[in-house]
Amino acid sequence: MIAKYVELISGELNISSRGTEAVIALLADGATVPFISRYRKEATGSLDEVQVTGIRDRLEQLVEMDKRRETILKTIDEQGKLTPELKANIQAAMTMTALEDIYLPYKPKRRTRATIAKEKGLEPLAKMIFEQGDFNVHLEAGKYINAEKEVANTDEALGGARDIIAEWISEDAPAREKIRELYRKEGMFHTKVLKDKEEEGAKFKDYFEWNEPVKSAPSHRVLAMRRGAAEKILSFKIDVPEEPAISILNGMFLKAANEASLQVTLAIEDCFKRLLSLSIETEIRLETKEKADDEAIRVFAENLRELLLTPPMGQKTTLALDPGFRTGCKLVVLDEQGKLLFNDTVYPHTSQHKAVEDGEKIRKLCDHFGVKAVAIGNGTAGRETEKYIRSLGLSGDISVVMVNESGASIYSASEAAREEFPDHDLTVRGAVSIGRRLMDPLAELVKIDPKSIGVGQYQHDVDQKKLKASLDDVVISCVNSVGVELNTASKQLLTYVSGVGPSLAAKILEHRNTSGKFSEREELMNVSGLGAKAYEQCAGFLRIQGGINPLDASAVHPESYGIVHQMAIDLSCSVTDLMKDSKLRESIDLKKYVTDKVGMPTLTDIKAELSKPGRDPRREFKTFNFKEGINEVTDLEVGMKLPGIVTNVTNFGAFVDIGVHQDGLVHISQISDSFVSNPAEVLKVQQQVEVTVTEIDIPRKRISLSMRKDADKTETKGKITNTAGDKNSHRGTPKNRKSSGNRRGGNDRPRENKKGGQGTFGESLGLQLKF
């Protein structure tokens, strides 16, 4: 069985059989994706995380399909209908769809028109007609008239026979596949607003009368149409022209031109209209939904990766503020490790007197604690608070940084926050989270459900199990690629380390609290429940700075320590010398250390790690400032060039924070002067960009932005809407229209709902943005 999987997967993924087989064996032995891709390169042929994950996922699909295959074989066998030929066909099926097509005629089903006709004894007549021999159909049908079986005349007999034939055709695997393919190539999505739902469903107005080919509809529009139907605003259907569909079936099942074939023709028409069209439409609905889900999840995962790998400011004493107007700004001071030292509330926006008084308090706190950075949440009152802090004349050594606070409120109310700060309320916890996000975004964001971070679209509509698995993979990948400091990591961060998980993470924390800091990696073996296998999987990803063994601060796995020590012995130096002296490292002859188990890939990694032990792979932190004086949408003018930070990348463009409490959209057509097919190829979450304001719609809180060099010369220049309902309030958003193709624009322009508020277009259609 494994051999079958190996050949199939290696062929599909274009990966060597040897590498595929090694990955499958390692996975079966309990190895994780990060461990396999980082520390088992010799076995796999240096397959990366993406390839290893691809093998794992395809293996899971094949195992599930084989479980289904066995169930089908058992069910048909119990019916006494499992012939050698049928069994061979089932064994040969390579997709779940093909498997289900074969099984369909044998699948237990509810009572249908065909089963009723069979109960009336009409199956022999149906078989005779379906063979399309040259005989008197009505004369033959007359033999089946039977009052007891409720067959009153020849018309009823023929009708029942046609019902049976129609079901045979609808359950024919080749026929289903050909009609399925027709739907894929020629199918059209049709949506229409339901009666009297125009006002209630205004957010779906672009789909009030919408047609779009199945083969080219982008994922976000598929999900939007389905959302409209789910909310009972839209009718939603997929269809194909009847004529080519029936022509396909005629070509497959008509054998002659006689009375019998005329009955088969009628059965074919009935089959398509009553059975096949409905059945295949349902399949295509599910198929397109699955594809749309996969694309939305892919976009979400890419954005999450970029957000988690946001450059950290590093270990600096930080003053963090969660801004507010009337309720004040919650203030906390954190030490270099993120430990809470002080908390208070200041009210700089309530009166001039309080602004002066609190300003003096903040200056004293900065001096007393040696603050090196001020982190300010970018929500309500964020820009005003930033302006206030900058006006205090703090030391030039103190960086003032706006921090994306999406999901901070989720964390502050979580079990993790209550466990960490049982004596502090939500506001303190939220401010702490803002400060820690600046110091180390990854370490803080892993405490929050990824769906609450604000970088996805339609996440509540997609397959939740698949979404969670994909996002978990991203978090695990990011955590292990960066590495985790064993003596300061939170339980949540440790949970994502290869081979650890929630239970062992809690035990590691318990051991650290009772026995003190770890001085070397080997001490992990003293943790209750952490055995040799878990140690093998996690040790290389856990760091100990300033420990007994300098290699414990690196990504060199303990299983390779002997190699490094031998290198040092051969060069008559210490391991520390080897890590400090580049000339010593350059003199290492790696070929001397190749063995049956350790090859050049691992040795090359070891040498590279010795030159940068424990170095953070994330980009260098850069301070970012919004443009002064631009704090609200009303401060904007068309043609303004502004600095911004990308907050979300979708298939139709990117949202950019320009510091006015409302993200603007750079449509895909405005990202570059050259053609862009995928915004993610050009823009990443947290990327710093310069944009030009091209359009402002104040009532609907829409801001259109451009990154094109000629943005100030585009036709949209001058569009500012100050009154609701302006017919030109949003050029580029499609009006109620029919579309024969995939037009750029479409429903590509959801509005954002920031900081709560009622359901605006973007939030209502599932675009997760800011909180």
pLDDT digits (tens, 9 = 90+) for 637-682: 999 999 999 999 998 899 999 999 889 999 999 999 999 999 999 9
| Best CA proximity match to 615, nearest among 238, 312, 228 | 312
Q: Looking at residues 743-768, what average pLDDT do you find?
A: 35
Q: pLDDT category, 747, cuts 50, 70, 90?
A: very low
| Location of structure tokens 């993979």 | 473
Angle at 442 between CA 665 and CA 34, to 5 degrees: 110
**For 201-218, how does the pLDDT look when each residue is reduced to its tens digit (9 = 90+)?**
988 999 999 999 999 999
Backbone angles phi, psi at 93, to 5 degrees: -60, 130
Considering the chain, tell me which residue range(s) the CATH 2.40.50.140 domain(s) occupy: 633-732
Q: Looking at residues 589-616, what average pLDDT do you find?
A: 92
* 3-class secondary structure per residue, 528-572: CCCCHHHHHHHHHHEECCCCCCHHHHCCCCHHHHHHHHHHHHHCC
- How does DSSP classify residue 315? S
pLDDT, residue 4, reads 81
Look at the chain and count its residues: 771
pLDDT, residue 713, reads 63
Instruction: Return mean pLDDT, the chain.
Output: 90
pLDDT, residue 740, reads 37
Q: Identify the three-state secondary structure at position 207.
A: helix
User: What are the structure tokens assigned to 644, written together?
Assistant: 């911004």
392-401, 533-542, 759-768: range with lowest mean pLDDT: 759-768
Order of strands across the sheet with 340-346? 340-346, 329-334, 318-322, 373-377, 399-403
| Location of structure tokens 């059209």 | 188
**For 44-92, how does the pLDDT look when each residue is reduced to its tens digit (9 = 90+)?**
999 999 999 999 999 999 999 999 999 999 999 999 999 999 999 999 9
Q: Which amino acid is at 209?
A: E
Q: Count Cβ atoms within 10 A of the Cβ of residue 23 and give its class: 0-12 exposed, 13-18 middle, 19 or more buried.
A: buried
Angle at 651 between CA 705 and CA 691, to 5 degrees: 20
Checking if the pLDDT of 756 tops 60, the result is no
> Per-residue b/e over 541-573, b at no fewer than 16 CB within 10 Å?
bbbbeebebbbbbbbbbbebbebbeebbeeeee
Backbone angles phi, psi at 704, to 5 degrees: -100, 135
Other C-beta atoms closer than 10 Å to the C-beta of 624 total: 14
Checking if the pLDDT of 182 tops 80, the result is yes
| Location of structure tokens 């006689």 | 258
Q: Which CATH class is domain 319-439?
A: alpha beta
Q: pLDDT category, 746, cuts 50, 70, 90?
A: very low
Of residues 427 and 768, the one with the higher pLDDT is 427
pLDDT, residue 623, reads 87
CB 212 within 8 A of CB 189: yes
CB 269 within 8 A of CB 249: no
pLDDT, residue 530, reads 96
CA distance 667 to 646: 13
- How does DSSP classify residue 728? T
Q: Identify the three-state secondary structure at position 746.
A: coil
Q: Identify the three-state secondary structure at position 210.
A: strand
Checking if the pLDDT of 463 tops 60, the result is yes
**For 335-369, how does the pLDDT look when each residue is reduced to its tens digit (9 = 90+)?**
999 999 999 999 999 999 999 999 999 999 999 99
Other C-beta atoms closer than 10 Å to the C-beta of 136 total: 10
User: What are the structure tokens assigned to 126, written together?
Assistant: 């149906």
Using alpha carbons, list the distances in angstroms from residue 185 to 28, 137, 217, 362, 593. 40, 38, 12, 65, 57
pLDDT, residue 719, reads 64
Neighbouring residues of 441: CB distance < 8 A, sequence distance ≥ 6 = 307, 308, 310, 312
pLDDT, residue 406, reads 83
User: What are the structure tokens assigned to 387, written together?
Assistant: 């302006």
CB 142 within 8 A of CB 154: yes
| Location of structure tokens 């400060």 | 435
| Location of structure tokens 């094949």 | 62
Checking if the pLDDT of 728 tops 80, the result is no
pLDDT above 70 covers what percent of the chain? Answer: 92
CB 153 within 8 A of CB 146: no
**For 305-315, how does the pLDDT look when each residue is reduced to its tens digit (9 = 90+)?**
999 999 999 99
CA distance 286 to 284: 5
| Location of structure tokens 């809690």 | 506
Q: Count Cβ atoms within 10 A of the Cβ of residue 621 and give its class: 0-12 exposed, 13-18 middle, 19 or more buried.
A: middle
CA distance 38 to 557: 10
Q: pLDDT category, 694, cuts 50, 70, 90?
A: very high
Checking if the pLDDT of 723 tops 60, the result is no
Residues linked to residue 656 through DSSP beta bridges, in sequence order: 646, 664
CA distance 199 to 634: 28
What is the pTM (predicted TM-score) of this model? 0.85
CA distance 583 to 341: 44
CA distance 371 to 392: 14
User: What are the structure tokens assigned to 654, written together?
Assistant: 């990117």
pLDDT, residue 714, reads 52
| Best CA proximity match to 437, nearest among 379, 364, 355 | 379
| Location of structure tokens 């009666």 | 195
Other C-beta atoms closer than 10 Å to the C-beta of 265 total: 17
User: What are the structure tokens assigned to 603, written together?
Assistant: 């040795």
9-23, 473-487, 739-753: range with lowest mean pLDDT: 739-753
pLDDT, residue 451, reads 81
Q: Which of 234-243, 607-616, 750-759 has the highest mean pLDDT?
A: 234-243
pLDDT, residue 721, reads 64
Is CATH 1.10.10.650 correct for 2-106?
Answer: yes
**For 160-172, how does the pLDDT look when each residue is reduced to its tens digit (9 = 90+)?**
999 999 999 999 9
| CATH number assigned to the domain covering 633-732 | 2.40.50.140
Neighbouring residues of 562: CB distance < 8 A, sequence distance ≥ 6 = none
